[in-house]
Amino acid sequence: MSNFKKVGIGSQARVELHDALGLTGAEVSVNALPQGASVPFVHSHKQNEEIYGVLKGAGYAEIDGETVPLAAGDWLRISPAAKRRFFAAKNSGIEYICIQVKAGSLEEYTAADAVIG
């Protein structure tokens, strides 16, 4: 088990997996906003881009003053400098995953990074 770690997260409103999994190259959070709720602050990042995946429900993001509708199955990448805030729809909650990684750090991916055998 030294080469992997498994955790259960339950049904909390927000879970950051950095510490729970001992992540060294990314931050991952699982988030749930009830209908009509929002993240209580606007934010940007110094160097991390964020990738959001909507798991359930609907809502929208405000990114640099633009409203972006979100629904289950949508994926969204946001550059570090963009100012962002997330909202659940008035008639639906929203559940999403957020993955933070250092912008420009990906050197190899998929098969190029794989070692077979």
Domain boundaries, the chain: 21-102
In the predicted structure, residue 81 carries a pLDDT above the cut 60:
yes
Band (pLDDT 50/70/90 cuts) for residue 47 is very high
Strand residues in the chain grouped as ranges (E): 14-16, 27-33, 48-63, 66-71, 75-78, 84-88, 94-102
Closest CA to 12 of 38, 28, 39, 30: 30
Look up the pTM and report it: 0.89
pLDDT digits (tens, 9 = 90+) for 9-30: 888 888 888 988 999 999 999 9
Q: Span 21-102: which CATH code?
A: 2.60.120.10
- If one counts every other C-beta atom within 10 angstroms of the C-beta of residue 13, the result is 11
pLDDT digits (tens, 9 = 90+) for 104-116: 898 888 878 888 8
pLDDT score, position 1? 57
